[in-house]
Structure 1
Amino acid sequence: MRDGLDAETVWSRTGLPGKSYETPVDSYAVGCKWPVALSIPVDEQWRPGFYLLIMSFEHEGRIYEREHFAVIKRAPEADPAPTALVLTTSTMLAYNDWGGANHYRGLGDDPWEDVPSPLSAIQRPVARGMLRQPEDAPRSSNPSTPGPGYIPRHPAYEYAHVHGFSRHYADAFWATYERHFVRWAEQHGYELDYLTQHDLHEDQAVLDRYACAVVVGHDEYWTGEMRDTAEGYVERGGHLARFGGNFLWQVRLEDNGNTQACYRTPQEDPLTPTEPSRVTTAWDSPVVGRPAATTFGLTGLGGCYNRYGTAAPRSSGGFTVYRPRHWAFTDTDLNYGDIFGAAPINVAAFELDGVDFTFRKGMPEPTGVDGAPESLEIIAMTPATLGEEDKWDGAVPLGAPVGEFLDALDAIYGDDLPERFKGECYGSGMVATFTKGAGEVFTAGSTEWVNGLRLSDPFTEQITHNVLRRFTS
């Protein structure tokens, strides 16, 4: 089934024989190693898009149904669409806990201790909820504004526990993020081609036939090769629109591209002594030496959480405008100091990106100490924190305690902690633009930008139109 504004079933079969196979206990790291049981022929009439593979069977009067996905790309000899949507497959792999573990948790004997797996296998199912979910399933950002005496809640985690979804169903990929952008784009007549981040990893020229490349949602993990492709594309005159946030970690593809590696702590990565530039830790780490802001203008270390648990739970949830004359605000009627996309819409929430900055004449200016491009213009901002503060002495569960972030900084920087991280653990989410070579980049540094599209916020919609029309004209 091709998913989008109007779902289209293109192939269906019933009565197929089924067979079960053994699954390795560490399938999260090595894959399922199942033999091919069914091949589906791809008709050349199928349109480019994101296709859900929905499989079901009946057992003892109950129907069990799960899904996987396939990406149908346009034939190389055909004229491309103006815009390529790059699916965030690396972030999906980081959060996919099918088989018991992911890059965050699942290993170890103590259920209260989060021990991550440094390896994430590609050849396995996708965790329940990442590809399909009910329209009313909670998101990771909280739309309600609490009163005094607030005890933090994480509705998405509670929903997952009650309904048998992955804990991370709302943290990454199609059902929470890209799908909403695709439905909005198709509603407004934008034609898209579809790529995965793995396409960028394997082919540094894959974007060159497009006027614009778009990334949407939770976009946290990239390989160095993927970054090379994106940067080279912009240098040669491409336009990159990133309606997403939390750009933070380098990963590697190993085992002929079948396994994603992310150790996070440099001391644990076996390549640290021999190939430090490929070590799977934060891009801003001195070991890697490739600041995240040089690619997308912003970094996950410059912002992070908003309206998530105890992290700025009563913030506006929107972006405050600081450069209303910027081209991105054309025809929005937004003025200096206006806020767009505020709660309960929440376009600036969950996880965000920013850079180190100062104010001059009432407008934010990047300091450049974290690799921010010289041409970077910060056009809108919102406060963010680097984690949740524990005010309950461990009696209340937190999704992202600030102590974890401080431990990560210690592992990344050791005794050479940059001045910008000393003191309070505060940051900012930002909307920014910059030029690079012959091309241009727009970054809406928030995972939840799609909220403004799915909930029809007129300001977010007009800004998105302005970006796509400029970048594809």
Structure 2
Amino acid sequence: MSRRTALGAISLGAVGFAGYQLRGEAEALPTRPAARTGNNPIVRENVAQGSDQWLVGRDGTKGVSDDLAQIQGYASATSVSHGESIDFHISSHIAQECTVTVYRIGHYGAVGARHLLTSEPVRVQPGITPGPDSDTGLISCEWPVSWTLEIPPAWLSGVFLAVFTSQDGYRGYTPFVVRDTARRSDVLMVVPFTTYQAYNMWPLDGRNGKNLYKGYTADGQSGGNPERAYKVSFDRPYMQSGLPRWFDMDTSAARWAESSGYDITYATSVDLHEGRIDPSRYTAIVFSGHDEYWSEEMRDRAETAVDAGTHLAFLASNNIYFHIRLESGGEGRPNRVVTCYKEAPDPEPGAAGPTVRWRALGKKHRRAEQGLLGVQYNGILAEPAPLVVRESEHWFWSGTGLRDGDRIPDLVAVEADGFSPSMPRPKDTEQTLLSASPYIDRRDGGRAVQNTSLCENHQGTLVFVAGTFHWPLALADSEHRNPQVQRATGNLINRMLEPRGKR
């Protein structure tokens, strides 16, 4: 155990490293082309003029609510590639026309998005709000296709918004990703659409809405586990305005990455599940937000990435917590339903096992998420707490001016990760705990400790976990931006992009 690692483990229990050894001979290390930071398509893209006209309030537009459903829609896929088309299923509270405007999220001179096109007027009708399935709670719409978009070859991979603006002045959204898996970018960002859907309570109307946490009681109150769904569908809008819960974590990370000039492309968690992502094509894969709901296929491919020498960075917390299945939706379309039974008996567990917490799979917590990540979810915060720095001499904190024991205010928030001595640890790995932040768990008022973690295996492959929801927001969100977090994250990504032999 290195001195810095031993110091980082103080008061947290001894952190063991099974079979760690010095990095192997040069010929055994993965080879990558030189990083293209500052000279790549992303840099050229962000020279374009930005626009914030997509926001509610611009041009006198008004926001949408689920109980009135003034203008809402959903996309036929979470991602789409060049030359492919994506359908939008749109409903309005009255028969009328709307426009669909498409924006790409990025830096764009700190404006944050770029306008790409606006449709001709699109005729929309009121769509039927289906009731939940009596057995699974599944809510799946069958709205007709209102508008189809074919992705131009010139559009760069990124996070996109389709903006629906009705003739009577209401505005709603749905996100999607344009992927470019043919291009060997330095960095791939994976956007957590499976987790978006797990939290989607549409329709938030006091009657029908359900997600994987709760639903409504018979008297219209918000219930809990007895009322929740076991299955949720992508064939429905995201609740209220249509921006998924925690979407700002991902857009903040994307804006920061593009402002930093990294050569980056984008995909979704569904792409990871479906095998569209070849990990060996990227130097680093960044999981930008709250990435809680993972299928076995997703986890297998993340582990394959590490084996292939691809670095992983998880910028938030509570990652890989629930095991899910992706199942077919209406008309047999694959992977349109996220299934997770949690504590309830799973009627069709299959070879991957039941849809429970990952740490409950296998004997002796064999599949616990800490076995890949180095830390795992350990609590919900009653209120934000400071991140307490450890290992300040580590290259990760270089240039931040921070010292051991320094506190970054309110950085640990919502949910936290920490190291658990009783759970599996990453094999063949040296781990450094870069923070040790006490906080109060709101569930029982107990004390817990948050850890930011960095693991490095014998090949020099890194797995980073920030361990808090506010980390990605601190990169670019106007209310949370923090230059020390920006610098540390830049140190991390730059280190990942270095040729292995030059460290």
Counterpart Cα distance in 2 of 1:73 and 1:205: 10
Q: Does 1:318 align with 2:374?
A: no
Counterpart Cα distance in 2 of 1:286 and 1:426: 27
User: Residue type of the partner of 1:121?
Assistant: S
Q: Equivalent residue for 2:282?
A: 210
Match of 2:454 among 430, 433, 438: 433
Q: Does 1:259 align with 2:337?
A: yes
Q: Equivalent residue for 1:177?
A: 249
Counterpart Cα distance in 1 of 2:356 and 2:195: 14
Instruction: Describe how 1:214-253 pairs up with structure 2 within 5 A.
Output: 214-247=286-319, 248-253=321-326
Q: Does 1:3 align with 2:105?
A: yes
- SS at the partner of 1:125? coil
Match of 1:126 among 238, 246, 249: 238
Q: Equivalent residue for 1:450?
A: 472
Match of 2:120 among 6, 9, 14: 14
Counterpart Cα distance in 1 of 2:260 and 2:403: 26
Task: Give the CA deviation at 1:370.
Answer: 0.7
Match of 1:93 among 197, 209, 213: 197
Instruction: Identify if the C-alpha distance between structure 1 residues 458 and 75 changes in structure 2 by more than 3 Å, giving closer, same or farther.
Output: closer
Match of 2:347 among 267, 270, 274: 270
Counterpart Cα distance in 1 of 2:483 and 2:123: 50
Instruction: Identify if the C-alpha distance between structure 1 residues 12 and 184 changes in structure 2 by more than 3 Å, giving closer, same or farther.
Output: same
- SS at the partner of 1:105? coil
Task: Give the CA deviation at 1:26.
Answer: 2.5
Q: Does 1:73 align with 2:148?
A: no
> Taking every aligned residue pair, what percent have the same amino acid on both sides?
26
Give deviations 1:183-209, integer Å, cap 9, x for gaps. 222222223200101111111753221
Q: Equivalent residue for 1:337?
A: 405
Contact 1:353 1:429 in 2 (8 A): yes
Q: Does 1:113 align with 2:223?
A: yes
Q: Does 1:280 align with 2:280?
A: no
Contact 2:122 2:146 in 1 (8 A): no
Match of 2:154 among 35, 38, 45: 45
Task: Give the CA deviation at 1:283.
Answer: 1.1
Match of 2:492 among 442, 467, 471: 467
User: Residue type of the partner of 2:146?
Assistant: A
TM-score normalised per structure 2: 0.68
Task: Give the CA deviation at 1:289.
Answer: 3.9
Q: Equivalent residue for 1:296?
A: 373
User: Residue type of the partner of 1:371?
Assistant: P
Q: Which runs of 5+ in 2 are unaligned?
A: 1-102, 204-208, 329-333, 499-503
Counterpart Cα distance in 1 of 2:118 and 2:463: 41
Give deviations 1:228-275, integer Å, cap 9, x for gaps. 11111011101011111012211111122110011110x421145x65
Q: Equivalent residue for 1:361?
A: none
User: Residue type of the partner of 1:383?
Assistant: P
- SS at the partner of 1:464? helix
Counterpart Cα distance in 2 of 1:72 and 1:205: 13
Instruction: Describe how 1:302-451 pairs up with structure 2 within 5 A.
Output: 303-306=378-381, 311=382, 313=383, 317-340=385-408, 342=409, 346-356=410-420, 367=421, 369-373=422-426, 375-389=430-444, 425-436=446-457, 438=459, 439-451=461-473
User: Residue type of the partner of 1:184?
Assistant: W
User: Residue type of the partner of 2:238?
Assistant: V
Q: Which runs of 5+ in 1 are unaligned?
A: 132-168, 357-366, 390-401, 403-424
Instruction: Identify if the C-alpha distance between structure 1 residues 385 and 224 changes in structure 2 by more than 3 Å, giving closer, same or farther.
Output: farther
Task: Give the CA deviation at 1:15.
Answer: 2.4
User: Residue type of the partner of 1:330?
Assistant: S
Counterpart Cα distance in 2 of 1:12 and 1:183: 23
TM-score normalised per structure 1: 0.73
Counterpart Cα distance in 2 of 1:386 and 1:376: 25
Instruction: Describe how 1:131-142 pairs up with structure 2 within 5 A.
Output: 131=243
Counterpart Cα distance in 2 of 1:466 and 1:112: 44
- SS at the partner of 1:195? strand
Task: Give the CA deviation at 1:107.
Answer: 4.3
User: Residue type of the partner of 2:492?
Assistant: V
Instruction: Identify if the C-alpha distance between structure 1 residues 126 and 230 changes in structure 2 by more than 3 Å, giving closer, same or farther.
Output: same
User: Residue type of the partner of 2:393?
Assistant: R
Contact 1:355 1:372 in 2 (8 A): no
Point out the more displaced range, 432-441 or 208-217.
432-441
Q: Equivalent residue for 1:23?
A: 129
Contact 1:347 1:450 in 2 (8 A): no
Q: Equivalent residue for 2:64?
A: none
User: Residue type of the partner of 1:380?
Assistant: S
Counterpart Cα distance in 2 of 1:85 and 1:128: 26
- SS at the partner of 1:428? strand
Counterpart Cα distance in 1 of 2:255 and 2:449: 29
Task: Give the CA deviation at 1:30.
Answer: 4.4
Counterpart Cα distance in 2 of 1:15 and 1:81: 37
Counterpart Cα distance in 2 of 1:188 and 1:4: 11
Instruction: Identify if the C-alpha distance between structure 1 residues 242 and 129 changes in structure 2 by more than 3 Å, giving closer, same or farther.
Output: farther
Give deviations 1:56-78, integer Å, cap 9, x for gaps. 223xxx422211122111262xx
- SS at the partner of 1:97? coil
Contact 1:88 1:173 in 2 (8 A): no
- SS at the partner of 1:26? coil
Q: Equivalent residue for 1:148?
A: none
Supply the RMSD in Å over aligned alpha carbons: 2.2
Give deviations 1:339-364, integer Å, cap 9, x for gaps. 23x1xxx22111111122xxxxxxxx
Contact 1:216 1:242 in 2 (8 A): yes
Instruction: Identify if the C-alpha distance between structure 1 residues 200 and 459 changes in structure 2 by more than 3 Å, giving closer, same or farther.
Output: same
Contact 1:321 1:380 in 2 (8 A): yes
How many equivalent residue pairs? 367
Counterpart Cα distance in 2 of 1:71 and 1:437: 34
